[in-house]
Amino acid sequence: MNKQLWALAHKEFLTEWRSRYSQMGVVLYLAASVFILYLGLQQADARLWVALYWVVLFFTSVTAIAKSFLQESRMRLLYYQSVASPLAVFLAKALFHFVQLLALAALCWLLFSLFFDNPIMHPALFVLIVVSGSLTFVLAFTLMSAIAAKAAQALLMAVLCLPVVLPSLMLLLRLSHQAAMEGPLDFPWTDLAMLWALDVILLLLALILFPYLWRD
């Protein structure tokens, strides 16, 4: 399975590299969103900064990951079924989108820091939060993209994602507020453990459900 996983992940990177215009479209969407917020607000306190950061990153991740399975043709999916295991296909797409979303999250942080003052007092904690939140988004959106593609209903992804991602967004906001607080850090182990537990649940759900979606 490891060879299949790395081969498929390599294919994902090559495919997206050859269609760089779609990646540039996501980057333009991200940059335009931050710039429009700057034009409308000019400045933002720590709580508003954190909220806007996660709103922009959430919709950017939807734009980047929603097409994960929806853009695949039926013939290509049939080909994948004949040469790779379902878990290798899912994990390869998740791995690519995880790397992609980390890059977008870093760019989003950079743009917010350029247009607004950077209120993050504990950058190491914020990086850990962003990595954990990116993993949550990737697992949720990749799985929902597979379900929506199987049902041939792109709108279904938006309906399915909201109740799945809302609890994690609430945790991410609470954790990020801690990272933006001045003074000694009271490390929010409980909230971080809950976020990681959501990641584990999503991963297990994907590993259990995706093979059934793949077979049907």
| Structural domain spans, the chain | 2-215
- The 10s digit of each residue's pLDDT in 68-98 is 766 666 666 666 666 667 777 788 888 888 9
- Looking at the whole model, is its pTM more than 0.95? no
Residues contacting residue 214 through CB under 8 Å, at least 6 positions apart: 81, 86, 89
With a CB cutoff of 8 Å and minimum separation 6, the contacts of 123 are: 179
Mind giving me the DSSP string for 156-169? HHHHHHHHHHHHHH
Sign of CA dihedral 39, 166, 100, 190: positive
> Helix 123-151 to helix 155-179 angle, to the nearest 10 degrees?
170
Q: Which residue has the higher pLDDT, 63 or 172?
A: 172
